[in-house]
Amino acid sequence: SPDDPSEHIKIIKIEKTNEPLGATVRNEGEAVIIGRIVRGGAAEKSGLLHEGDELLEVNGVAMRGKSVHEVCQVLGALSGTLCVVLAPRRAVPAAPPPHRVLHVRAHFDYDPEDDVYIPCRELGISFQKGDVLHVISREDPNWWQAFREGEEDQTLAGLIPSQAFQHQRESMKLTLAGEVAARDKPRKGGTLLCAKKPPRKKKGKKATSEAGYPLYSTSGADEYEQEEILTYEEVALYYPRASHKRPIVLIGPPNIGRHELRQRLMEDSSRFAAAVPHTSRPRKDHEVPGQDYHFISRTQFEADILNRKFVEHGEYEKAYYGTSLEAIREVVNSGKICVLNLHPQSLKILRNSDLKPYTVFVAPPSLEKLRQKKIRNGEAFKEEELKEIIATARDMELRWGHLFDMIIINNDTQRAYQQLLNEINSLEREPQWVPAHWLKHT
Amino acid sequence: ALAALGAQARRKRATRGTYSPSGQEYCNPRAEMMQHALKPPPEERLI
């Protein structure tokens, strides 16, 4: 019969060490089928095994009828030259064009041990938010083969969920969570609940600047109204340039030392500088235009807001204040490092510019440590305020954590400052992974 | 780069060869519902 595998068999010899060959097997009825060829293993290098081939015999041991676990056990005990009898898959599809290596930053935590969908758990790679992954094969649309940054010396690639698969899984979870919430909620007056999303987290308080005026970012608040599903972000290596010092953006809850850190950096005025803000209020006698502020008319200010010239702006005592992209660019062009304290909402417009900001989240320590810090510094505090700070920090990290390049826990200002300075120094020496689109236009 | 994020304990690659069928026997309703919508693929083992 045409289904009889003995009609077209192939015998191959392959060298095996104590390491796996780097292929997976799956059961299809009685048959043992090659599921995938893993990059970096002996199977891939030999080019003799292919996805879809049926494994009939290894060193005289019949494979048909064995479970994949038994096959795994038999093969695990073998080393040296293996004699493998195969029934090659019938139709051999044309080899897909090789993909270039895709570098991505993960925006979610992943543990293959908790994943019921991973086809081969032994090959799963665990990773955490912020890790960089080098994707070397996207042949399987659901499961990519990848190495984790810093572990390129691994022989065999690992499996990670593909972007499409992860997106599908997360959107399904959102839908289901919405349905469960709708089902469990007692219905009032026969209103049909059709929530598709889990209840939104409470919104943080309105952003305010250090001077106390409300801040508005020009990028619009609509961006986080929609539930964004974070999977991977393509990144590319950026080599530091003396002609472009990346602006340092400090993000974080109030009263956790961001202002102080910024001041400490600015003491070295040969190296660091602030962007000169714009204002629509009249200039005072002692003020120097372009040094204290850029003084512009209210009409001009409003036009500039509409033209998205401001990273953020606010109103205080009937005058506008704001930080413009142009003012940041002036600092960059002067060869200095611009230090900015911004609200996370302002990151979007800055990240969409050509300025390549480096974002540092200045986070509070634990409640207990925060309390001790306040006592140590002799600062008056209310327990409620401390809790509020920690809640704000958590909320910021949940919503914008994927935009942070670094997190500093500010328990001790001197230590935090040193940590920040060390990082800024290394930014000037070492290449960094940045969003790939930053490098495409330059 | 990313020193701080990277400094978070980098967990080792999931231990090889730990076959844990219990992982597929989750009985939380969400996983159950997901299984209807999204079927887990046939299990593969590494050789």
Predicted confidence band of residue A96 (pLDDT cuts 50, 70, 90): low
Q: In the beta sheet, which residues pair with residue A408?
A: A362
Q: Are strands A358-363 and A406-409 parallel, antiparallel or unpaired?
A: parallel
- Would you say residue A294 has pLDDT above 50? yes
The pLDDT value given to residue A136 = 94
Judged by a CB distance cut-off of 8 A, whether residue A124 touches chain B is yes
Contacts of A433 in chain B (CB under 8 A): 1-2
The nearest alpha carbon in chain B to A168 belongs to B38
pLDDT > 90? residue A15:
yes
Beta strands, E only, A2-95: 10-16, 23-28, 31-37, 54-58, 61-62, 80-87
For residue A310, name the pLDDT band (cuts at 50, 70, 90): very high
Query: Is the minimum CB–CB distance between B45 and chain A shorter than 8 Å?
Result: yes
Amino acid occupying residue B5: L
Q: Is A120 in contact with B46 (Cβ distance < 8 A)?
A: yes
For residue range A365-408, list pLDDT tens digits in order: 999 999 998 898 888 889 999 999 999 999 999 999 999 999 99
Res A203: pLDDT = 43
Indicate if the alpha-carbon torsion angle A44, A113, A72, A165 is positive or negative: negative
Residue A251 has pLDDT above 50, yes or no: yes
- CB distance A314 to A320 below 8 Å: yes
Phi and psi based region of residue A142 (left: phi greater than 0; alpha: psi -120 to 50; beta: remaining): alpha
Which residues of chain A have a CB within 8 Å of the CB of B11?
Answer: 111, 126, 128
B7 CA: distance to closest CA in chain A (Å): 10
Mean pLDDT value across residues A72-93: 89
Question: Does residue B22 sit at the A interface (CB-CB below 8 Å)?
Answer: no
B44/A120 CB distance under 8 A: yes
In this structure, of A65-79, A220-234, A319-333, B7-21, the range with the lowest mean pLDDT score is B7-21
Residue A152 to chain B, least CA–CA distance (Å): 12
Q: Once rounded to an integer, what is the mean pLDDT over residues A37-62? A: 94
**Minimal CA separation from B22 to chain A, in Å:** 10
Q: Is A408 on the interface with B (CB under 8 A)?
A: yes
From chain A, the residues in CB contact with B36 under 8 A are none
Is B8 within 8 Å of chain A by CB?
A: yes
Closest CA to A78 of A14, A134, A155: A14
User: What is the rounded CA–CA span in Å between residue A101 and residue A109?
Assistant: 22
Instruction: Return the exposure string of A250-281: e unless at least 16 CB atoms fall within 10 Å of the residue's CB, then b.
Output: bbbbebbbbeebbebbeeeeeebbbbbbbbbe
* Predicted complex: ipTM over 0.85: no
Q: To the nearest whole percent, how much of chain B has pLDDT over 90?
A: 13
Cβ of residue A423 closer than 8 Å to a chain B Cβ: yes
The residue among A189 and A109 whose pLDDT is bigger is: A109
Residue B22 reports pLDDT greater than 60: no
DSSP H helices in A146-255: 163-184
Q: Evaluate if residue A338 carries a pLDDT over 70.
A: yes
pLDDT beyond 80 at A211: no
Rounded to 5°, angle at Cα B17 from B35 and B26: 25
Share of chain A above pLDDT 70, in %: 86
| Predicted confidence band of residue B31 (pLDDT cuts 50, 70, 90) | low
Rounded to 5 degrees, φ, ψ at A405 are -90, -25
Q: Does A119 touch chain B (CB under 8 A)?
A: yes
Question: What's the whole-number mean pLDDT along residues B5-31?
Answer: 41
Chains A–B, number of C-beta pairs less than 8 Å apart: 140
CB-CB neighbors (< 8 A) of B22 in chain A: none
Determine the Cα–Cα distance for residues A153 and A191; give it in Å rounded to an integer: 58
The partner residue sitting opposite B42, judged by closest CB among A26, A38, A172, is A26
Which chain A residues touch B46 with a CB distance below 8 Å?
A: 20, 22-24, 38, 72, 120, 122-123
Q: Is the CB of B26 inside 8 Å of chain A's CB atoms?
A: yes
- As a whole number, mean pLDDT of residues B6-21 equals 39
Average pLDDT, chain A: 88
Task: Please say whether the beta carbons of A110 and A160 come within 8 A.
Answer: yes
Binary contact (B1, A129; C-beta < 8 A): no
Q: Residue A216 pLDDT > 70, yes or no?
A: no
Contact B3 A406 (CB under 8 A): yes
The DSSP line for A303-339 is: HHHHTT-EEEEEEETTEEEEEEHHHHHHHHHTT-EEE
Which of A27, A126, A427 is closest, CB to CB, to B42? A27
Please, which residues bridge with residue A14 across strands? A82
What are the chain B neighbours of A132 within 8 Å (beta carbons)?
2
With contacts defined as CB-CB under 8 Å, which chain A residues touch B30?
173, 176-177, 180
Contact partners, residue A394, CB within 8 Å, separation at least 6: none
